[in-house]
Amino acid sequence: MNAASASPAGVPAGGAGVVPRHVAIIMDGNGRWAKKRHLPRVAGHRKGVEAVRATVEAAGEMGIGVLTLYAFSSENWRRPAAEIADLMGLLRRYIRDELDSLARNGVKLRIIGDITRFDRDLVTMLEDACTRTARNERLTLVIALNYGGQDEIARVARQLAVAAAGGTIDPVTIDAAMIEDRLDTAALPPLDLLIRTSGERRLSNFLLWQAAYAELLFVDTLWPDFGAAALADAVADFGRRNRRYGGL
């Protein structure tokens, strides 16, 4: 059995020239990038925004359908208040400065995670950006904000438990499809490729369910230095892999 026949229907199986439909990136290394240059951490975050812009543009040009970026984890609240404020300011600036370009270039914005903890003005800005770009089809840009994979799965478990207790579902019928339909990523294509920059080799609570059969790629490049060339290298690496999904 070859890789193509072993893969679930519609899921890229790898092979030269194959472009993953759904790529996710743990954008790591902003602080180390700044430290190497004797700059404040916020300088690394600002440079990281430029890497986001370049990577989004490259993803659209390559034909990637969905690009999911880990922008702020549920654990990032442990960082100093000043750094969190800088990150929220950069997020506001990104939406304000990039929204016209995203809309013009056919990019649909989607948010995953629990953004209710953010300031109301930022929540409104994000919701308005998603609404404005909702009809775009060239590329879906998913930004994970106050997101944690364990929390996502726990929220789904609570929903199913409530439904079972209320008698609207039979617990014995709960399966993977029912869980996936309730995840933040519902209706998105399966995750094909998950990249982490900066040389770290862990998932850090990102897309834990979705990464079950994703290809994982850990690169030494610090996020501010990532861009079109690095993404192209990652896609080429994906194309060389044989995705067996438990088959031979």
Q: Any catalytic annotation for residue 100?
A: no
Q: Hey, what are 121's tokens?
A: 């003005």
The annotation status of 28 as a binding-site residue, yes or no, is: yes
Distance (Å, rounded) from C-alpha 21 to C-alpha 198?
A: 23
Q: Which of 2, 76, 121, 128 is catalytic?
A: 76
The domains of the chain are located at 19-239
The annotation status of 196 as a binding-site residue, yes or no, is: yes
Q: For residue 99, how many other CB atoms are within 10 A of its CB?
A: 17
At position 179, the amino acid (one-letter code) is I
pLDDT tens, the chain, 248 aa long: 333 334 565 567 656 578 999 999 999 999 999 999 999 999 999 999 999 999 999 999 999 999 999 999 999 999 999 999 999 999 999 999 999 999 999 999 999 999 999 999 999 999 999 999 999 999 999 999 999 999 999 999 999 999 999 999 999 999 999 999 999 999 999 999 999 999 999 999 999 999 999 999 999 999 999 999 999 999 999 999 988 777 76
The annotation status of 247 as a binding-site residue, yes or no, is: no
pLDDT > 90: what percent of the chain? 90
DSSP the chain: --HHHHSPTT-----TT---SEEEEE---HHHHHHHTT--HHHHHHHHHHHHHHHHHHHHHHT-SEEEEEEEETTGGGS-HHHHHHHHHHHHHHHHHHHHHHHHTTEEEEEES-GGGS-HHHHHHHHHHHHHTTT--SEEEEEEEEE-HHHHHHHHHHHHHHHHHTTSS-GGG--HHHHHTTSTTTTSPPP-EEEE-TT--S-TTSSTTGGGG-EEEE--S-GGG-SHHHHHHHHHHHHT----TT--
The annotation status of 30 as a binding-site residue, yes or no, is: yes
Distance (Å, rounded) from C-alpha 111 to C-alpha 95?
A: 12
pTM, two decimals, is 0.92
CATH level 3 topology of 19-239: Undecaprenyl pyrophosphate synthetase (3.40.1180)
Calculate the alpha carbon distances from 17 to 64, 82, 142, 194, 234 in Å.
Answer: 12, 44, 24, 18, 12
The annotation status of 215 as a binding-site residue, yes or no, is: yes
The annotation status of 203 as a binding-site residue, yes or no, is: yes
The annotation status of 5 as a binding-site residue, yes or no, is: no
The annotation status of 105 as a binding-site residue, yes or no, is: no
Query: pLDDT, tens digit, for every residue of 17-65?
Result: 789 999 999 999 999 999 999 999 999 999 999 999 999 999 999 999 9
The annotation status of 139 as a binding-site residue, yes or no, is: no
DSSP 80-130: -HHHHHHHHHHHHHHHHHHHHHHHHTTEEEEEES-GGGS-HHHHHHHHHHH
Q: Any catalytic annotation for residue 28?
A: yes
Q: Which of 2, 28, 128, 175 is catalytic?
A: 28
